[in-house]
Amino acid sequence: MTPGHPEFPSSEHNTPGIEATTGPLGAGIGNAVGMAAAAKLAAAKYNTKEHTILNHHVIALCGDGCLQEGVAFEAASYAGHDGLDNLIVIYDANDVTLDKMADFTQSEDHAARFAAIGWNTLTIDGHDFGAIDEALLKAKSLKNGKPSIIIAKTIIGKGIPEVEGTNAAHGEAGVAFQKTSREHLGLPADDLWYISDETKTLFQERKSALKIEYDEYMKTFAAWKSANPELAAEFEMAKSGKTPSAVEILSGIPEYDSTKNVATVLTELLSAMSFNFLSTSRTSSCRPRMSSFILSISTDRASRASLVSSFIACSQGQCFSLDQVSSLYLEDTVREL
């Protein structure tokens, strides 16, 4: 759906409607899990008893190659453990990875592997549109605290007999046969960008149906906004992606109240300043530990300021390991003590 390896937001290869794509295999699973965790956090913060403004699913497509990467399973394991049932991964299981058949390098049972880390697994014929629809509806309706993977068995290069079902179909290898393959698929051979009337009608009808849903949603959103102006302002700020300046952060840090325990101070601090800006990537499970650790050794104002800077740095994409953070702050604190 998205050509090339468009890792950069400004890439000319970005495809409208696709929110994130990656080049490094496996990273997309991490993206999807992060988006699902962020959606859960945001829903918990912004939805009210009266209005639900966030209840969407995150849907990601991946291939055999994505699931060969270790990072994919670290993220998937986190998603299973943390019950991200708003996440659906559709796996294009075509048994090919670029220039070899997948069984040349792997032999795992993906359904069993995902089930073992707490996912729902559904296996379908990926060329059957009805089955895809049905599986998506099922995955959305399960709501059993588990993410879902739809293992869609497909044939790579379908309709191009010269390469169909083999690694020769990856990339541009089928280009030489494109004219005949269009014929095999029942499409006009010479019209490279042919879109049937049936397809156009389908999308027009879909657009009208979605417009009705969109208008309904916007009514709910407006009602939520006027009932919750403060939350709405925070929501807009979060969407804008702007982070507070260091001065604003420092002025927001409360004086340490020695009658409260450090965990309470941490919660107050984070909820006051950083909630919208913490990202949830594969390192997220270490971040709360890292923060409690730093705060437990950082009862003075300057160290707490450093803690907040670390969080902001993390949210802006620079992530510190526990070792780096401890070497930065622990030494000073130990010296002071």
Based on CB atoms, which residue is closest to ligand TPP, 32 or 66? 66
Residue closest to ligand TPP, measured at CB: 63
Rounded CA gap, 304 and 155, in Å? 55
x-marked contacts with Mg ion along 47-66 as a string, rule CB under 5 A: ----------------xx--
In the complex, the smallest distance separating the C-beta of residue 123 from ligand TPP, rounded to whole angstroms, is: 16
CA distances from 175 to 163, 164, 171 (A): 10, 12, 9
96 makes contact with Mg ion (CB under 5 A): yes
Based on CB atoms, which residue is closest to ligand TPP, 30 or 80? 30
CA distances from 97 to 28, 63, 105 (A): 16, 8, 9
In the complex, the smallest distance separating the C-beta of residue 102 from ligand TPP, rounded to whole angstroms, is: 7
Rounded CA gap, 101 and 193, in Å? 30
Residue 195 interaction partner, one of ligand TPP, Mg ion, none, beta carbon < 5-8 Å per kind: none
Q: Rounded to an integer, what is the distance from CA 260 to the centroid of its chain?
A: 36
Residue 69 interaction partner, one of Mg ion, ligand TPP, none, beta carbon < 5-8 Å per kind: ligand TPP
CA distances from 51 to 44, 48, 219, 221 (A): 12, 5, 10, 8
Residue 120 interaction partner, one of ligand TPP, Mg ion, none, beta carbon < 5-8 Å per kind: none
Both structure tokens of 39: 């959606």
Residue from the set 31, 77, 86, 94 that interacts with Mg ion by CB under 5 A: 94
- Taking phi first (over 0 means left), then psi (-120 to 50 degrees means alpha), and beta for anything else, what does residue 17 get? left
Based on CB atoms, which residue is closest to ligand TPP, 29 or 307? 29
Based on CB atoms, which residue is closest to ligand TPP, 63 or 80? 63
Do the Cβ atoms of 62 and 72 come closer than 8 Å?
yes
Footprint on this chain of ligand TPP (rule: CB under 6 A): 23-25, 63-66, 69, 94, 96-98, 156, 170
Task: Annotate 50-66 with DSSP letters as a single string.
Answer: S-----PPEEEEEETTG
Residue 82 interaction partner, one of ligand TPP, Mg ion, none, beta carbon < 5-8 Å per kind: none
Query: How many CB atoms within 10 Å of residue 324?
Result: 12
Both structure tokens of 178: 């494109």
CA nearest neighbour of 315 among 286, 280, 291: 280
152 makes contact with Mg ion (CB under 5 A): no
In the complex, the smallest distance separating the C-beta of residue 66 from Mg ion, rounded to whole angstroms, is: 9
In the complex, the smallest distance separating the C-beta of residue 63 from ligand TPP, rounded to whole angstroms, is: 2
Residue 182 interaction partner, one of Mg ion, ligand TPP, none, beta carbon < 5-8 Å per kind: none
Rounded CA gap, 326 and 94, in Å? 45
Rounded CA gap, 36 and 42, in Å? 10
Based on CB atoms, which residue is closest to ligand TPP, 24 or 241? 24
In the complex, the smallest distance separating the C-beta of residue 26 from Mg ion, rounded to whole angstroms, is: 13
Q: Tell whether the torsion through CA atoms of 64, 68, 71 and 77 is positive or negative.
A: positive
Q: Which stretch binds Mg ion (CB under 5 A): 42-50, 87-95, 186-194, 277-285?
A: 87-95
Residue 24 interaction partner, one of Mg ion, ligand TPP, none, beta carbon < 5-8 Å per kind: ligand TPP
The site for Mg ion (CB under 5 A) is made up of 63-64, 94, 96
